Amino acid sequence: MISGLGSATRSQPLMRSVFLNSALNQSSRNMATLREIQTRLKSVTNIAKITKSMKMIASTKTTRAQRAMEQARQNGIVSNDGVKYTDVKDEEGIKKIVIVSSSDKGLCGGIHSCVSRFTRDHLATNPGEKVVVIGDKAKAQIIRMSPGSIVMNFNQVGKLIPTFEESSAIATEILNNPDTTFDCAQIVYNKFISAISYEPEVIPSFTTEYIQKAPSFAVYEIPDGVLENYNEFLFATNLHWALVEGHATEMAAKRAAMDNATNNAEEIIGKLTLQYNRGRQALITNQLIEVITGASAL
């Protein structure tokens, strides 16, 4: 009897020690989990601050870009009226090139993929046409879709609102390159519909020789050399129209993308905060249980 009681007495400290060690291990695991949640919460909070700032910057740039877009669009429409009245048409069998207007920057939704897919579909039905790409984002996508079709590429354009000087320089390079001779240049860009809506659109530009073959061109009396100079100016104007409207679309898409990213980050912050509070409450409860168990064991 005495021996049995002694054995039971010796086993009680051992059981308490096992219980306390288990509780301490559980507490350590909870602390590690809380530390991970806290680290992730801090990271997501910093991301939310960055996306919110980028949204504010994009909002300011969108307002300016839309004003420039309205001017460039109006200039382009008015400048193309004279050519439109000659009844010149984009016919099958003429020599064409595709000029894709994009930019070098990302974080703006799928605007680059939009013009790239449009170009891919066009090249699928018109194989062999040469492509000129403005912007590195669309270049990378078109190379994967149709390697070997790109003959010229321009980058570092449109960091700010594109200027007419930039557009004129690009137009001159295209017109002087023997690999990009054309009867019709199809300028693909993102047409601005609203702050959250856009679609790929094409602005055709024809050479002077091709315009002179138009059915209604004979009704116009144009001095020698004037049409060629005007047509070069028109080509630069169309490029500028596409670049400026594409820039406005990019800024609006970036504002929407950063707004969505901020909302998603705030949602994650709410979930992580709730998870952290629950874990901390469970940790405090375990610590209280340890204290009470230790006090009752004495």
pLDDT at residue 31, rounded to an integer: 55
- Quote the strand ranges of 150-208, DSSP E: 150-154, 184-194, 197-206
Annotation: CATH topology of 57-257 = Pyruvate Kinase; Chain: A, domain 1 (3.40.1380)
**Overall average pLDDT of the 23-46 stretch:** 74
Nearest to 35 by CA among 272, 288, 224: 272
Cα–Cα separations (whole angstroms), residue 229 to 208, 236, 265 = 9, 11, 53
pLDDT at residue 2, rounded to an integer: 39
**Overall average pLDDT of the 33-53 stretch:** 90
Give yes or no for a contact between 105 and 250, defined as CB atoms under 8 angstroms apart. Answer: yes
Nearest to 126 by CA among 94, 101, 155, 152: 94
CB contact set of 240 (below 8 Å; sequence gap of 6+): 72, 75, 76, 162, 164, 167, 168
pLDDT at residue 8, rounded to an integer: 43
Residue pLDDT, tens place only, 132-148: 999 888 888 888 888 88
CB contact set of 67 (below 8 Å; sequence gap of 6+): none
CA triple 114-118-121, angle to 5 deg: 140
Tokens of 265: 């980050």
pLDDT at residue 30, rounded to an integer: 58
Residue 15 has pLDDT above 50, yes or no: no
Give yes or no for a contact between 237 and 75, defined as CB atoms under 8 angstroms apart. Answer: yes
Residue pLDDT, tens place only, 191-243: 998 888 889 999 999 988 888 888 888 887 777 778 888 889 999 999 999 99
pLDDT at residue 5, rounded to an integer: 40
Alpha-carbon distance of 116 to 294, in angstroms, equals 69
Residue pLDDT, tens place only, 72-122: 999 999 888 888 888 888 777 788 899 999 988 887 878 888 998 999 888
Segment among 41-45, 92-96, 252-256 with least mean pLDDT: 92-96
Residue pLDDT, tens place only, 115-136: 989 998 888 888 888 999 998 8
- Computed over every residue of the chain, the mean pLDDT equals 83
pLDDT band at 25 (very low <50, low <70, confident <90, very high): low
Tokens of 175: 């017109």
pLDDT at residue 228, rounded to an integer: 87
Give yes or no for a contact between 112 and 102, defined as CB atoms under 8 angstroms apart. Answer: yes
